[in-house]
A and B are shown apart, each in its own frame.
Chain A
């Protein structure tokens, strides 16, 4: 499974459009500036992805996982440090909701935040590549990065990893967004990227 430098560069650009839409949605939710890096697109083993995230301080995390199927399939995982999840929920529902009630709706609110952000990125990609995705329902998970990324235990499986670090300025929340694609999906994606590149010549 390989992608040329030009294809990886095109993918970075394509995902960048989606990430920009997600940043816009997140800043509307937070009422604050959202800082994002340019996505890093790499072919890595799941273990390596977990290791890299661990090195950046993402140990035990709260994650929203959502599958998207279409011409190719991808699993998108949005991750935050566990201790920041309540802050995120409060950001979404507003500060007038009591803390006890926040705990009750924490999972629901996180699922909805994930739903909005992951759909924003995937929609950007779909529109750029002129394809359509159907999303599964978002699922909230809690645990170490490796467990969330590799629930099936296939740690050495090589995946296309697209990692985005972002920070919500006023709240000092740092999060990670990873898209995982298996071999067949990377091949299908490669064809779409080639078509995308050819359309610009």
Chain B
């Protein structure tokens, strides 16, 4: 099945690495990119993706604030926080927001962890 994924990260290199690794595992997925939380919210409002990988520390609103807004617009979209901010407080916030937490760097195991969460039966 052709799923849609939105990669949200202010680092172009990070987006490139995520896209590359996801495409290797799921070559049929349609992948879009956003460089800020606000851009992501606008994109989700127009066309909600199935899945999102979300950075935390970005210019403008944080990834966590973006998740709150995205949940209002598209509650079914599954979100994985993919971040270098690995503080316990960040992990706890992810639990509260009902999203999964994946630790950077963007390695194949990290991407597989996100994909397993996206594709798991509810």
Contacts and interface: CB of A to CB of B under 8 A. Distances in A.
Given A25-B104, A112-B14, A137-B59, A127 B87 contact: yes
Given A92-B13, A111-B11, A137-B57, A28 B89 contact: no
B84 A105 contact: no
A112 B11 contact: yes
Contacts, number: 61
Nearest to B92: A132
B17 interface: yes
Contacts of A116: 84, 104-105
A119 interface: yes
A21 B84 CA distance: 11
Contacts of B90: 123
A47 to B, nearest CB: 31
Contacts of A115: 11, 57, 84, 104
Interface string B1-31: 0000000001111101100100000000000
Contacts of A109: 13
User: Which 7 residue pairs are nearest across A and B when measured between Cβ atoms?
Assistant: A119-B84, A123-B87, A116-B84, A132-B89, A123-B86, A109-B13, A108-B13
Given A112-B13, A115-B57, 8 more contacts: A25-B103, A28-B105, A29-B105, A120-B86, A123-B87, A123-B88, A126-B88, A135-B85
5 contacts: A25-B104, A29-B107, A105-B13, A116-B105, A119-B83
